[in-house]
Amino acid sequence: MDHHYVYQNWLRGYREMHTEEKTLNYYAKHEVYQDESKGKVAKKFLKTCTSTEDWARYAYENKYAFNVCKIINEEVDSYLSYDLLGDFTISFLDEYLRKYMFYVFTEQENGMLFCTGMMFWEHIKGMDDDMDYTKAWTYIFETNGNVKVIEKEKDAKEECIWTSKRPLNVASNWEPKPVFGDWDSIFRMKRWGDGELDEVFKGVPDNMGMR
């Protein structure tokens, strides 16, 4: 499907994208930098920066935060958030521009990215508020193939936790660290085969239970 990318911030609470001017203003005034001296250099760069793409390129090289929005049919389909720790979060939006699922990728010692987490919500059909959901699932992946799933019903005091009975083939969790501008691969939503994640939980129950 035809698409393109823009380097502007996505405002989840408002379900809208910041303009280039507001995006640059955000990083100039509100961004928190882990290193004060590097932060001063970044803000100096921002004083003369007129393009969010230029900021994003500079931020990627220096491990500062930025967003990338994927545009399909003139609407934001999904967006990437790069944070100060160097993690990538890919969030997917539904027909209401509501976040319904995300992946987290963390850089490993080999220089590759690994999908360490996934979360999604089961929203009520026909309702568009963020809180209009019945359940939420969180997946936690380890490089050795261990998987933990946390299922929690809305407003429940307890959650159900499953641990995998056999290792997952984590080949689909690995992702090359993107070259700036080459975002297609990391934005992929489908990563595992049908039923592949479910298979690792089949077997004799062990430490499955409520917490």
Q: Partners of 114 in the beta sheet?
A: 106, 174
pLDDT digit string, tens, across residues 175-190: 999 999 999 999 999 9
pLDDT digit string, tens, across residues 35-71: 778 788 888 999 999 999 999 999 999 999 999 999 9
Question: Which residue matches tokens 């393009």?
Answer: 51
For residue 5, pLDDT beyond 90: yes
- % of the chain residues with pLDDT over 90: 84
List the single range of 27-41, 95-109, 166-180 with lowest mean pLDDT.
Answer: 27-41
- Average pLDDT across the chain, whole number: 92
Structure tokens at 88: 């990538």
Contact 8, 2 (CB under 8 A): no
